[in-house]
Each structure stands twice: as structure tokens, then as C-alpha cells.
Chain A
Amino acid sequence: DQQVKQNSPSLSVQEGRISILNCDYTNSMFDYFLWYKKYPAEGPTFLISISSIKDKNEDGRFTVFLNKSAKHLSLHIVPSQPGDSAVYFCAASGRRTSGSRLTFGEGTQLTVNP
């Protein structure tokens, strides 16, 4: 029962262009969403989050969009840089159902080519 899905295992983008990473969820009780970035042999690093009362949150080059009706969120990185190459995980939590636990997607490997 994969409640958070990232359907693209990998994405390759040219430096300077936009990277768009997608995430879908099935549990309508999720009300907080996060994106983490992970380099090999390191722990996930928090990037950006959004609560369900918003549809957009922006932080520098990173913007997260939430479409509640479609149960879909996306992370936009613009402009993409080679240092952005990493695995990106989408995660979700729901205060009323799953409490504090995070439910993660499978991850998308982003490669930004110079």
C-alpha cells in the first residue's frame, strides 16, 4: 500500500533549465508535505515544505506546488545546478491519522548536466 508515489525513478536536466519533480498521494488525510534531498551515504536533508492550507510555497530556487483535488505535488528547481544532482524524496504526514510519522515516496534521482 504505497500511499506516496514518485513515478519517475530518474530525471535528467541541463544546467540552467527547470527541474520538475512530481509526487502523488492517495491518503486524503495527509495535510503536510515535505521534500528532502539525499546524497549517497548521507541522510536526507530537508528542502521545503507546504501545508494543505496553501497551494504554493517558494524558497529561493525551490518552489513546491500542491494540488489537493488531484492529490499531487511538485517541486520546481530553477535554475538547476550540477550540485542539485541527488535523490529527491517526497514525504507526507497527517496530524489526525498518522500523527508525526512521515510517509516517503520511493525517490527520484535528479541528474543536472553541465
Chain B
Amino acid sequence: NAGVMQNPRHLVRRRGQEARLRCSPMKGHSHVYWYRQLPEEGLKFMVYLQKENIIDESGMPKERFSAEFPKEGPSILRIQQVVRGDSAAYFCASSLAESSYNEQFFGPGTRLTVL
């Protein structure tokens, strides 16, 4: 009865390195969402994916950030050439169907620290 899994839970990177964050949705869920929480702020939507498709990436920064949800395996949020401002908690959520009337279930988050 596993919920949404995210790894790693904590990730430390130096400026200019790449960060890869993984998310495995709840069993049976095929919709994945990524949110970012900066210190002292609420969660901000980044991207919504279904298997092999990006449905809405309007919250993603235009450069350095990308996301995928392959047919097999977890969803990946990739941040290239990280900067200090990327330090945040990144949360993944999944839902059973398109989520306008279904709640999204969140993972524990990955806390990214950029030195």
C-alpha cells in the first residue's frame, strides 16, 4: 500500500552540477505533477505529465529544467547547471485521473540544497 515515493529525500549539489529527482506515483496512478516550495512560500505548480506525455509545463522555468514520465520507471525532474536559487523542496503528486475533481496525493519531497 505504498504511497507516492520520492528519492532522494535530500540532495546536495554544487553550483553548475545537475540534479535528478525521481518520483514513483501511487499504484494505479498515471498522472504525475511536480511542485516546488521555496522557503517561506506555498507550493508552486511546475509540470503535469502522463505516461510519455507532458500535458502542462507552464510552471516550468524556460531553461535548465526538464521533466519526463517514461512508459516504464519513475518520473524524473532534471535540473541542469543548478544555481543557489534552485534550493527548495520539490514535491511530486499523483492522481488516479485528470485531477480537477480528484485529489492529488503527495510524496515526502526532495530537499535540494545548492552550495
Contacts and interface: CB of A to CB of B under 8 A. Distances in A.
A71 interface: no
Interface string A27-58: 00001101010000111111001010000000
Given A42-B108, A43-B91, A101 B59 contact: yes
Contact of A100 (B95, B105, B109, B111): B95
B108 A103 contact: no
Interface residues of A, number: 28
A106 B45 CA distance: 13
A49 B95 CA distance: 15
Given A99-B56, A100-B95, A43 B107 contact: yes
B103 A49 contact: yes
Contacts of A107: 42
Contacts of B42: 4, 6, 89, 104-107
A49 B99 CA distance: 12
B98 A45 contact: no
Contacts of B103: 34, 46, 49
Interface residues of B, number: 30
Nearest to B50: A100
B43 A100 contact: no
A95 B95 CA distance: 15
Contact of B98 (A43, A89, A94, A100): A100
Contacts of B107: 43
Contacts of B6: 43
Interface of A: 4, 6, 31-32, 34, 36, 41-46, 49, 51, 89, 91, 93-95, 99-107
Interface of B: 4, 6, 31, 33, 35, 41-45, 48, 55-56, 58-59, 91, 93, 95, 98-101, 103-109, 111
The 9 A-B residue pairs with the shortest CB-CB distance in the complex, in nearest-first order = A43-B106, A95-B100, A104-B42, A100-B99, A101-B45, A104-B43, A46-B103, A106-B42, A44-B106
